[in-house]
Chains A and B, each alone.
Chain A
Amino acid sequence: MNVTYRTLAGATALAALATPGLAQDSYSPSEITAFVAAGAGGGTDNFARTVQPMLEERLDTNVTIINLPAASGAVAHQRTATSEPNGESIEFASSTLITSLAAGQNPIGLDLLTPVARMQSDVLMLVVNPEKYESFDAFKAAAEETPGELIIGGTHAASIDRMAFLGLNAEAGFDLNFIPYDNEGAASANLLSGNIDGMFNEISAIQGYMESGEMIPVLALADDRLEAYPDIPTTAENGWDLTFGNERGIFINAETPPETIGAIEAVFEDIYGSEAYQDYAARTFLDVRPGWLGSEEYRAELEKNLAYFQELMAAN
């Protein structure tokens, strides 16, 4: 599968050759095993498989992807945390790492895993059916007039969208209900048919519905209005400190030497800046908010969000 991708990656390869080798001197793994803490075909898996050939080009080695979706990715975290700390095992994971930690479903914390880099920071949106609510004001009015009646659909009980739901209830003083569905599709179907009042989702997933006007985002969990969607009000302008979204990044065994981690971080920073990666990010609407965070800042971000999620979970 890598061979065929090479044709497309040719341009990337040239670009990579043009930039001086960043880390190859100190860090040259003989092979890399990349655990993916999610099932095949989802956002995190697509991320890993898009980056895979870019990583292979830069490090001149083979990258093997292993999907470990069991237990919301906890099995992948475990495998990564117990791998040889030589920089040859890395993990692709999403914010589910910390939401499942907060929910007590994941024994592998940030003491055992070191964040290497954040590549994606998706913006969560409150999405509603315009036949029910034409704007966030209408939704807010209904939530305040009929407390306990409105239903937010989501994925599972320890998901990032559940955290957004808990956060909105806490910050805005709403009394919304939450129904977790088996997958995002089931929640979308219920939103389209008017069985539920809203759901939290990402731009990439609702693009088609926005175009047809069957679903509209009415609130963005963000600090500032998004450049591409200036009409969507934000949580910050309502005075709510609620700006987290689904983040995807790279993790590694915490015992790995800091210089190796630094070298891997540099490789990913180079990938992040490449045209090929930015093309993919634009195609999948992952560029509404800049994704890059280095190891230190990513850890700080994760720890901040984790503390907040634990607080939300404890209160409910």
Chain B
Amino acid sequence: MLSDLMGGFGVVLQPINLLILASAVLIGFVGGALPGISGVILVVILLPVTYSMEPTGAFMLLTAIYASSVFSGLITAILYRAPGTPEAVMTAIDGYPMTQKGEAGKALGVGILSSAIGGVLGTVVLIVATPLLADIALQFSSPEFFALAVLGLTVVASLGGNLIMGVIGVCIGLIIASVGLDPLTGTQRFTFGNLELMSGINLIPVIIGLFAISEVLKRSQEGDVHLASKKFSIRIFDWPVIRQIRGAILRSSILGTAIGILPGIGASTAAMVAYSETVRWSKDRSRFGKGAPEGVAAPEAANNAAAMGALVPLFALGIPGSGTTAVILGAFIVHGLTPGPTFMTGNTDLIYAVFVGLLIVNLLILLFSKPFIALLSKLLDVPYSVLGPIIVICCVVGTYSVQNSLMDVWLMLGFGLAGFLLEKIGFPLVAIILGVVLGPIAESELRRSLAMSRGDWFVFFDRPISAILLAIAALLLVFTVVLPMLRRKRETPAEVHEQ
């Protein structure tokens, strides 16, 4: 393996390939920073370009764009609460409050460092353990995915804030997610005869509407204040901050890689689970959502790690771990390569060049991000009365480009208005996203599990992984909801007695 790795370095360090990597990082940066333009779209746009390239260069380009776009979604998430990619939606939750507190530079530094560490760790795992991990990933079937989604949904109890509102938020998310064709029978649900609603409500209009548009609406009411007009400088290696976030980075990188490896579960879910676990295990939960650096570190470490993890089943089994890797799989086939279990042994040179390329890309991110953000942050000097409309235009164009649908744009604007109103009453928007992302997984995997077991509910407890995951979810609910309730009940009569 070491000699393969050295061979990979030999290939990647050729000037033409370094040029490919550097340009891929820049393309990924720009695309990822624009709301609505995600890694999938960039990879698709560049796919025809790669047809005339030789395979090694082609796949270095595609995977590098993918890695850097997952990274750069954080920039607009932190600066404007407009997540550049769906993977960055959790980053906005603590990142944007940091910007509002005048800590944009710190938030970006934390995000960049966490992304790079997560990405590098994910790549190292990819290099060392791809064949081994792929077999473990196969142990996950419908019951395990259902248990994982349930574990994710119980997070709402530990997110802080009003629990009842949180539960309502998740339910709203679940209803949004149930629009479209029934995943198992194909029956139409809440489509009102509309053709476009048949394929369901896309995640991107929901995220951009709820977060970016609602914020523009809110700011428009506040008059033309210059929130972040203070000059900020990004400090990536800020040791006191690093000491504070290192636990979150490490834990989230591992969690992110592990979730990324599971086929079908992408980096957005990884960021969500990592964020909630960080909240859950933190001593002071009340800081989250108000600008806690760990709240930026966790999702960023996790989503970049997961992006790399998603390549594990692709290379080892020919099964894509996420939407973007599915497109890359298509590209393999067009290039005449046959992805599958023999892919790694048959294409060692190509695979190791891609591995090394990804390592270098994650380091290039550290190097390039500062000047790139400095350029973007000039926009912060623009008055919000000008910037706000620009953000809206970017959101409209980005949302439209996802599947060339005007319907998505209207939905996005509708969710923007809804988000604006819901936030006025202190509603936790993230709970809705939780429902939208995890709801479809929970629903369809529950039904698939029961179809697999022909209606026997014990399928969830027969299988060790799903049994353990469900037990953890139940325990966490007891600790975060039931016990505090009992304690409150016990305290109330005691107080009465004292009086």
Q: Which A residues form the contact surface with B (CB < 8 A)? A: 1-2, 4-5, 7-8, 39-43, 45-46, 49-50, 52, 66-72, 74-75, 78, 103, 105, 107, 148, 151, 156-158, 177, 179-183, 185-186, 188-190, 192-193, 195-196, 204, 206-212, 214, 280, 283-284
Interface residues of B in 326-366 (CB under 8 A from A): 326-327, 329-331, 333-334, 336, 338-343
Count chain A CB atoms within 10 A of each CB in B43, B52, B407 and give the residue with the most: B52
Task: Say whether, besides A5-B48, A72-B199, A207-B340, A156 and B186 are in contact (CB < 8 Å).
Answer: yes
Q: Which residues does chain A contribute within 8 Å of B319, judged by CB atoms?
A: 185-186, 188-189, 192
> Considering the chains assembled together, what is the distance between the CA atoms of A204 and B40 in angstroms?
22
Contact present for B317 and A105 (CB under 8 Å): no
Q: Judging by beta carbons under 8 Å apart, are A212 and B340 in contact?
A: yes
Q: Is the CB of B451 within 8 A of A204?
A: no
The CA-CA distance from A2 to B51 in the complex, in Å, is 11
Instruction: Spot the interface stretch: B68-76, B177-185, B224-232.
Output: B177-185
Collect the chain B residues with CB atoms within 8 Å of residue A207's CB. Answer: 338, 340
Which residue on chain B has the smallest CB distance to residue A1?
A: B48
Residues of chain A within 8 A of B313, CB atoms compared: 185, 189
Q: Please name all residues of chain A whose beta carbon is closer than 8 Å to the beta carbon of B142 when the two chains form the complex.
A: 190, 195
Query: What are the 9 tightest A-B residue pairs by CB atom distance, in nearest-first order?
Result: A208-B340, A157-B186, A41-B327, A40-B44, A71-B198, A212-B341, A193-B138, A41-B330, A208-B338
Please, which residues of chain A bring their CB within 8 A of the CB of B183?
156, 180, 182
Q: Whole-angstrom distance from the CB of A54 to the nearest CB of chain B?
A: 12
Report yes or no: B52 in contact with A8, Cβ–Cβ below 8 A.
yes
Contacts of B48 in A (CB 8 A): 1-2, 4-5, 49, 52
A192 vs B137: C-alpha distance in the bound complex, in angstroms? Answer: 11
Q: Cβ of B47 < 8 Å from any Cβ of A?
A: yes
Q: Is the CB of B452 within 8 A of A195?
A: yes
Q: Is the CB of B452 within 8 A of A180?
A: no
A192: chain B residues at CB < 8 Å are 138, 317, 319
B375 at the interface (CB under 8 A from A): no
Q: Given A40-B40, A157-B186, A185-B263, A70–B198 Cβ distance below 8 Å?
A: yes
Interface centre among B137, B183, B403 (most CB of A within 10 A): B403
Quote the shortest CB–CB distance from A143 to chain B (angstroms): 15
Q: Mark B118-144, 1 if CB is under 8 A from A, else 0.
A: 000000000000000000011101100
Across the interface, do A72 and B338 meet the contact criterion of CB distance under 8 Å?
no
- Decide if A70 touches B184 in the complex (CB within 8 Å): no
Which of B138, B195, B331, B342 contacts A211, CB < 8 Å? B342
Is B381's beta carbon under 8 Å from chain A?
A: no
Q: A72-B198, A72-B199, A78-B195 are in contact. Are A208 and B334 (CB under 8 A)?
A: no
Is chain A's interface secondary structure helix, strand, loop, or mixed overall? helix
Residues of chain B with a CB closer than 8 A to A214's CB: 340-341
| Contacts A41-B44, A41-B47 given; does A208 touch B342 at CB 8 Å | yes
A284 touches which of B334, B341, B405 (Cβ 8 Å): B334
A183 near B330: Cβ-Cβ < 8 Å: no
Known: A1-B46, A41-B47, A195-B142. 13 other contacts (CB 8 A): A67-B404, A71-B198, A156-B186, A157-B181, A177-B454, A180-B186, A183-B326, A185-B313, A185-B320, A186-B263, A192-B138, A196-B452, A283-B334
* Complexed CA–CA distance, A8 and B334 (Å): 14
- Asked if B451 contacts A177 (CB within 8 A), the reply is yes
CA of A43 to CA of B331, assembled, Å = 10
Contact A68 B404 (CB under 8 A): yes
Closest CB-CB distance, A102 to chain B, in whole Å?
11
A151 to B196, alpha carbons, bound, how many Å?
31
Contact of B198 with A186 in the complex, beta carbons under 8 Å: no
* Residue among B137, B264, B336, B407 making CB contact with A183, cutoff 8 Å: B264
Q: How far is the CA of A177 from the CA of B454 in the complex (A)?
A: 10
The 9 listed contacts between A and B (C-beta, < 8 Å) are A1-B48, A1-B49, A45-B44, A66-B404, A70-B407, A183-B264, A190-B141, A208-B339, A208-B340
Task: Please measure, in the bound complex, the distance between the C-alpha atom of A300 and the C-alpha atom of B410, giving whole angstroms.
Answer: 40
Q: How far is the CB of B93 from chain A (nearest CB, A)?
A: 27
**Complex contact A204–B333 (CB within 8 A):** yes
Chain B contacts of A177 at CB under 8 A? Answer: 451, 454
CA–CA, A107 and B188, complex, Å: 14
Q: Bound state CA distance, A212 and B318, in angstroms?
A: 12
User: Which residues of chain B are near A72, meaning CB under 8 Å?
Assistant: 198-199
Q: Which residue of A lies closest to B139 (CB)?
A: A193
Q: In the complex, A52→B48 CA distance in Å?
A: 10
How far does the alpha carbon of A1 sit from the alpha carbon of B49 in the complex, in Å? 5
Closest to A158 in B: B186
The residue from A39, A158, A185, A283 contacting B264, defined by CB atoms under 8 A apart: A185
Please state if B330 and A46 are interface contacts (CB–CB under 8 Å).
yes
B290 on interface, CB distance cutoff 8 Å? no
Interface pair B264/A75, CB less than 8 Å apart: no
Bound together, the chains give a CA A171 to CA B343 distance in angstroms of 37
Cross-chain contact A180 with B403 (CB below 8 angstroms):
no
- Asked if A208 and B341 sit within 8 Å, CB to CB, the answer is yes
Min CB gap A229→B, angstroms: 15
A151 to B448, CA, bound (A): 11
Question: Which of A50, A70, A180 is within 8 Å of B405, CB to CB?
Answer: A70
| B444: interface (CB < 8 Å) | yes
Contact of A179 among B198, B343, B452 (CB under 8 A): B452
Assess whether B1 is interfacial by the CB under 8 Å rule. no
How far is it, in angstroms, between the C-alpha of A120 and the C-alpha of B264 when the chains are bound? Answer: 28
Question: Which listed residue (B41, B182, B185, B405) contacts A75, Cβ 8 A?
Answer: B405
Contacts of B386 in A (CB 8 A): none
Bound-state CA distance A49–B320 (Å) is: 21
How near does chain B come to A79, taking the closest CB pair, in angstroms?
Answer: 9
Q: Which residues of B contact A66 (CB under 8 A)?
A: 404
Q: How far is the CA of A75 from the CA of B184 in the complex (A)?
A: 21
* Contact digits for B182-224, partner A, Cβ 8 Å, 1 yes 0 no: 1111101000000110110000000000000000000000000
Complex Cα gap A179–B143 (Å): 14
The verdict on B486 contacting chain A, using a C-beta distance below 8 Å, is no
Q: Would B52 and A179 count as touching, CB distance under 8 A?
A: no
* Residue among A183, A185, A207 with max Cβ neighbours from chain B (10 Å): A185
